[in-house]
Structure 1
Amino acid sequence: MKKIKYLAVALMLFSSCDDKLEITNPNQRTTNTYWATEDQAFAGIVAVYNALTTDGTYQRTFPSFSDSRGDDMYGDSPATYLELGGQFTLPTNAGETQWIWRDHYMIVFRANQVIENVTKMDAAIIGDEARKRILGQAYFLRGLAYYNLAITYKAVPVITIPPADKTEYYPATATEDELWSQIYSDLRMAEEMLPINYDNVVGPDKGQKGRATKGAAAGMLGKAYLYRKMYAEAEAQFAKFFSGPLQGMYSLVPNYRDNFTTANENNAESLFEVQFSAVGGSVGNWTGEPTATWRQFIALPVAYGMDGKGWSDYQPTQWIFNEYKQEKTKEGKTDPRLAATILFYDEIDGITAPYGSPWPADRRNQIYPRKYTMEGQGVPFETPETGGVNYRVLRYADVLLMYAEVLNELNRTADAYAYIQQVRNRANLPDLATVKPNMTKEQMRDQIAHERALEFAIEGQRIQDIIRWGWLYDPAKLAMLKEHDDDFNTWTPGNEYLPIPQTELDYNVNLLPNSAN
């Protein structure tokens, strides 16, 4: 299996400077000297992927801050801001909110360069199929970046072209409708232009895993529609996976844990995942421009690793642990997703020798994350840069449960059962139509919320579900969340989002604060 190597290019494209002062570095390409060959176009799109592996995107801070704001995880770190993020009280000058903003706009900046310049490249330089494929990936990555910015900050500037001069350095905050319209547009363009896979393409990307595909774009577009309660549009998107062009392209892998380890990456369940590696390089890929010594590691294994084997910055809530035990499998056993998700001491269901060492006797009552850690993978904790687990951005299980949710919202509750059951079958849970037949629409909503909690715990999903379902503004649901996780006791209206970074507000007079500022 040949994965896309994000380190294949170290690329920052600068605009030319004022010709009154020649400060051009002969070893650094500029926009005036780049975009001259098809190989450079392919290298340019790899530079966009590269930005997915930085601290503010999928290397650590974006997924961990998403996790800690849900009721399935909480901060347990001496780093104060890691706890405050989950308590909805993060100050505007916190580095973490700046890093997420910075690195997602790095994706946007690079994608904009690819879109503008590859579009203009002469047909004698780049073939139509290669151009289409490269542009499709740029639209997908920009749409994904704006989706993440929207669910994190609510309203942000929409930038679709590289700035021509300093007068364009200070974009205004877009309306929510403008922002989401751009997300839909980018993902629609991506779906239209991207191949189903790269097995038979012609070019350096032939056979590579990890690149955006038509299925990834179709799934993300459906997810974006669902977030905004555009149920008819979401239904049309998800239906493509069951009776349309994407039918049969994806399936659930038999072993649930294969979605969170290095054992079976880029598998049949994965619509899109960020490629990480623990091999090579000596300089951590925290942010900025890659060099020949840059690594491509994911920092979640050390951030989530148990005491003594990592930093243990975050821990699962007791509520989510107990939730897995609410229903037994057909054989009367515990849901197998519990042991794949949470590290806990138990001689029958749990792990007695975590990371290959005896469980410390004084910590046997503690629970820790297991997803996205190196536990059980034979990799000792030595430095923060040992994680090579790919981060799964979108799984087929999500498509199944989102489709069930959409069907229920469209008053097709009976049809939702079959899609939920596919996910339950992997966990060997009883037939839902038998144990809970003829549910009402409201009952099915609660059931789907339960199913999603168990399937996607510690995957950065829970807070996004809570927000889009409106639970924080429903007194009964908010009271329930407070029972699940004490962090919700300090939530106040608007603070479900991260604040716009204070440094950005200071520099850009056209930028508006959000409800969390």
Structure 2
Amino acid sequence: MKSKHILLTAIITISGMACGKDYLQLDNPNQQRVTTFWKTENDALMSVNAVYQALYYDGTFMRFAQCALDLRGDDMMSPSPWDVLSNTGSFKLFNNTIMQQWLWIAFYGGVTRANFVLANIDKVPFKDQNLYKRLKGEALFLRGLHYYYLVTFFNNIPLITKFYEQQEEYYPAQVAPAVLWDQVYQDFDEASKLLPVSYAGADLGRATRGAALAFLGKSYLFNKKYELASAKFKEVMGMGGYELMDNYGDNFTEAFENNRESIFEVQFSREAGGITLGWVSSPGADWSKTTARAITFGPAPFGWNDAAPTQWIVDEFKKEKTKTGGDDPRLQATIYYNYPGCKLYGQSFQTVYAAEPGKLGVKKYGNGDGKVPDEKDWRSGVNERLMRYADVLLMYAECENELDHRAECAKYIQRVRNRANLPDRETEFAALTQEQMRDRIAHERALEFALEGHRFDDLRRWGWLQNATRLAELKVHDPEFNSFVPGREFFSIPQAEIDVNKNLKQNTGY
């Protein structure tokens, strides 16, 4: 079941302050103001819903966040004729492009909305203290989530934790990334103590304790705090309720959304809202709550073919056969390619691509199961899974390797492999050295999360972009890495922001 409740948009407008007592103040009695809002529990609920709304912009998970996360990995490349996307994949984005600008605007917009909630929620006379704790926890989680993506995209950014009403206060300087990460840790940690374990009915899909703990662990892992990260992943695993889905492909379709493997996903729906697409502007009641990932990543002629798998990731899938001698089943769940019986949008792959049998297309998060003829209406309802239980298991395994617990690491690697019916190699893996296990983890994560936006962040936190040998490997995997310049593991600070805020300094490499 897909939640419709949190897809509703709360549009809150803050009116300008009066210029002085000698001026006539003409307030619109039909427009909410800070002084008239924050009176009821429903006001607080609407405000938290508005923070979720920030996840539906084109600059967040309607489209651009997925492009920013996916296109820079060696598992995906961009053949797009639109230079904004092709240059993202080849690290050629310079100072003033809409990729950086829209990411910055949309994710900071989510921060602002969360700050608005946290600055005002205590004004509401809650009768239901559980609702109060939950809503505050959701706002903290969502602020932490938006900052998590901002710091991983840009690294050197301002930290804003207050809701400012005066324009002159909107020109903060950047803080050290460690300071930003400390805020992310704090937000996720506080949220984990306030959020419920699960929801039901209309509230299904809201942030849970497991989501806060999982992202807290991932944030620690990003910064090599392995003991802290391991402890948080253990908490998630000890909660119960989470398990791998039997069928790997069920994690990427509408049919099995909010399933037992899902820890947090962005709720999209063709039935909620209107049909107007959500760009980076003030939201309207007619806005669609859909995603453009499917049309953007879908192979031509069904979609725009702005993204495509690399041959390297296909070959990586084929390195090891299943127990029955077949290809890893995750390959066919992830990629359209030339194999017997391959169908997409009700048509035979061999027929559609007779002139290019080596064609590779993105299958994950698409609608190519035959129910629609193509992706050309922009509006997909497939939820974006930002955190799966499989990620928790493999991140925990990674922590255990770094803590010299190889047997424990091997156990959880094999647990994920079992779903793909791959041979049991737990004993073999347990005997690996730490460095050999790092290579094994890199391989296993590449297959489990191919085309899901995890690969580039993995490469960056492992230090591969700063290692000449590893970078040479990446260039073989994906020639787009030939134009990588040190410093461009992060996006540039949008030039338009620097022009307005003289306290901002450009990232290195630009």
* Alpha-carbon displacement from aligned partner over 1:132-173 (angstroms, at most 9, x marks no partner): 100000000000000000110012111111113122111111
Residue identity opposite 1:327 in structure 2: E
Matched, 1:213 2:216: no
* Shift, 1:25, TM fit: 3.5
**Matched residue SS, 1:279:** strand
CA contact (8 A) 1:16 1:30 kept: no
Distance 1:503 1:219, change over 3 A: same
**Matched residue SS, 1:408:** helix
Residue identity opposite 1:218 in structure 2: L
Quote the residue 1:266 is aligned against: 258
CA contact (8 A) 1:299 1:384 kept: no
* Shift, 1:415, TM fit: 1.1
Quote the residue 2:412 is aligned against: 419
C-alpha separation between the residues in 1 aligned to 2:471 and 2:432?
A: 23
* Shift, 1:32, TM fit: 1.6
Quote the residue 1:282 is aligned against: 275
CA contact (8 A) 1:15 1:32 kept: no
Residue identity opposite 1:445 in structure 2: R
* Alpha-carbon displacement from aligned partner over 1:231-290 (angstroms, at most 9, x marks no partner): 111011111134x4x1x2200001111111111000000100000012351211223333
Matched, 1:457 2:450: yes
Alignment of 1:262-411 (within 5 A): 262-279=254-271, 281-347=274-340, 351=342, 353-359=343-349, 360=352, 361-376=354-369, 378-381=371-374, 383-411=376-404
Residue identity opposite 2:229 in structure 1: A
Distance 1:319 1:121, change over 3 A: same
C-alpha separation between the residues in 1 aligned to 2:484 and 2:199?
A: 45
* Shift, 1:434, TM fit: 4.7
**Matched residue SS, 2:374:** coil
Quote the residue 2:242 is aligned against: 250
CA contact (8 A) 2:406 2:430 kept: no
Matched, 1:38 2:21: no
Quote the residue 1:509 is aligned against: 502
Quote the residue 2:493 is aligned against: 500
C-alpha separation between the residues in 2 aligned to 1:86 and 1:514?
A: 18
Quote the residue 1:17 is aligned against: 17
* Alpha-carbon displacement from aligned partner over 1:82-123 (angstroms, at most 9, x marks no partner): 11111111011111110011100111010001111112323x
CA contact (8 A) 2:345 2:368 kept: yes
C-alpha separation between the residues in 1 aligned to 2:71 and 2:264?
A: 23
Distance 1:21 1:96, change over 3 A: farther
Distance 1:429 1:29, change over 3 A: same
**Matched residue SS, 1:273:** strand
Gaps of at least 5 residues in structure 2 are none
CA contact (8 A) 2:95 2:492 kept: yes
C-alpha separation between the residues in 2 aligned to 1:236 and 1:434?
A: 24
Distance 1:188 1:418, change over 3 A: same
Residue identity opposite 1:8 in structure 2: L
Quote the residue 1:5 is aligned against: 5
Percent of aligned positions that are identical? 46
C-alpha separation between the residues in 1 aligned to 2:370 and 2:402?
A: 41
Matched, 1:63 2:53: no
Distance 1:4 1:171, change over 3 A: farther
C-alpha separation between the residues in 1 aligned to 2:24 and 2:62?
A: 38
CA contact (8 A) 2:10 2:49 kept: no
Residue identity opposite 1:271 in structure 2: I
* Shift, 1:209, TM fit: 1.0
* Alpha-carbon displacement from aligned partner over 1:159-198 (angstroms, at most 9, x marks no partner): 1111131221111111111100100000001001101012
CA contact (8 A) 2:267 2:384 kept: yes
Quote the residue 1:144 is aligned against: 145
* Alpha-carbon displacement from aligned partner over 1:450-499 (angstroms, at most 9, x marks no partner): 00000001111001000000001111111111110001111111011111
After superposing the two structures, state which structure 1 stretch, 434-443 or 454-463, moved more: 434-443
**Matched residue SS, 2:269:** coil
C-alpha separation between the residues in 2 aligned to 1:430 and 1:439?
A: 17
CA contact (8 A) 1:277 1:388 kept: yes
Q: 1:106 aligns with which of 86, 91, 109?
A: 109
C-alpha separation between the residues in 2 aligned to 1:435 and 1:263?
A: 37
C-alpha separation between the residues in 2 aligned to 1:433 and 1:282?
A: 50
**Matched residue SS, 2:308:** strand
Residue identity opposite 1:192 in structure 2: K
Quote the residue 2:235 is aligned against: 240
- TM-score, structure 2 normalization: 0.96
Quote the residue 1:50 is aligned against: 53
After superposing the two structures, state which structure 1 stretch, 23-32 or 396-405, moved more: 23-32
C-alpha separation between the residues in 2 aligned to 1:325 and 1:284?
A: 39
Q: 1:76 aligns with which of 79, 93, 113?
A: 79
**Matched residue SS, 1:36:** coil
Gaps of at least 5 residues in structure 1 are 200-205
Residue identity opposite 1:131 in structure 2: Y
C-alpha separation between the residues in 2 aligned to 1:126 and 1:116?
A: 19
**Matched residue SS, 1:59:** coil
C-alpha separation between the residues in 2 aligned to 1:377 and 1:226?
A: 40
C-alpha separation between the residues in 1 aligned to 2:127 and 2:167?
A: 31
* Alpha-carbon displacement from aligned partner over 1:9-38 (angstroms, at most 9, x marks no partner): 331331542344645443321212111111
Alignment of 1:81-230 (within 5 A): 81-122=84-125, 125-199=126-200, 208-230=203-225
Residue identity opposite 1:422 in structure 2: R
* Alpha-carbon displacement from aligned partner over 1:365-393 (angstroms, at most 9, x marks no partner): 20011011111151232644331100000
Quote the residue 1:203 is aligned against: none
CA contact (8 A) 1:4 1:210 kept: no
Residue identity opposite 1:231 in structure 2: Y
Residue identity opposite 2:488 in structure 1: N
Quote the residue 1:202 is aligned against: none
Residue identity opposite 2:344 in structure 1: P
C-alpha separation between the residues in 1 aligned to 2:45 and 2:485?
A: 46
Distance 1:119 1:53, change over 3 A: same
